[in-house]
Amino acid sequence: MKNAGTGRRARLLASAVAALLLGVIGAPSTYASPDAQDCPAAEIFATDNTAIITDPDDPRLGTRLTRFGHEVRQIIRAHGARPGHSALLDGVFWSGELRQATYERSREFDVEGVGRDGLHHVAGVIAKRYHQEAVLTFRCLPRTSPETDAVEIEVPGVRVSEVREALVADPEARDRLGGGSVTLDGRLVLVAPVGDLPLARRFTTAVGADWGRAQVRYGDREFVS
């Protein structure tokens, strides 16, 4: 998430990237119980990219962010938390200013042993070190927690090109959801406000994913600058 483009990606993203899906009515089996969600204590979505990339074939999108991944893990440890699994993400976001899709390679980092304030601090350190306008965080919480304001959705069977096509075709989704990220093994990842569940579910169908296979986790999201 970068200067001019990051604010847009932050509002969009996921996914950090990301951090788009959500549907509530008619699919209760897709929702994790409040106290048994299969997710880490927290997640950080970040990149070291500071460019606006509009070409899906740009070679910069092929980076594995290996050094960045090692450095972020060190930052997490240095501030008293424990880094866990990390995954590469290919993000597609809609730029209202450019009126076209933008792309970004980023990483998601699982973080354990951290609370709200600690997560905010770590994300702020990453944002400043890599000159990011915003870094997205997500804390996994019970669905009924008063702090829960967002959901994180993962759905398999999605390609980056399908996310782009769905964004271009749906003005409401691109304005409210902004975009989404796809893992290298084809899982759509989206962090979105709880109130956008119906729209996100519709978008999920539009990208060709099976909502019945969606994993939905509840929690608190923050864009940290």
Average pLDDT, the chain: 86
pLDDT surpasses 50 at 4: no
Look up residue 76 and give its two tokens.
Answer: 């997490």
Per-residue pLDDT at 197: 86
pLDDT digits (tens, 9 = 90+) for 61-81: 999 999 999 999 999 999 999
Average pLDDT over residues 83-87: 97
pLDDT surpasses 80 at 51: yes
Q: Is 16 helix (H, G, I), strand (E, B) or coil?
A: coil
Answer yes or no: pTM beyond 0.85. Answer: no
89, exposed or middle or buried, with CB in 10 Å at 0-12, 13-18, 19+? buried
The span from the first CA to the last CA of the chain, in angstroms, equals 10
The single residue listed with the structure tokens 């978008």 is 203
Interatomic CA distance for residues 61 and 49, integer angstroms:
10
Question: What letter represents residue 167's amino acid?
Answer: L
Average pLDDT over residues 104-123: 98
CB 34 within 8 A of CB 142: yes
pLDDT digits (tens, 9 = 90+) for 7-27: 444 433 433 333 333 332 223
Per-residue pLDDT at 225: 95
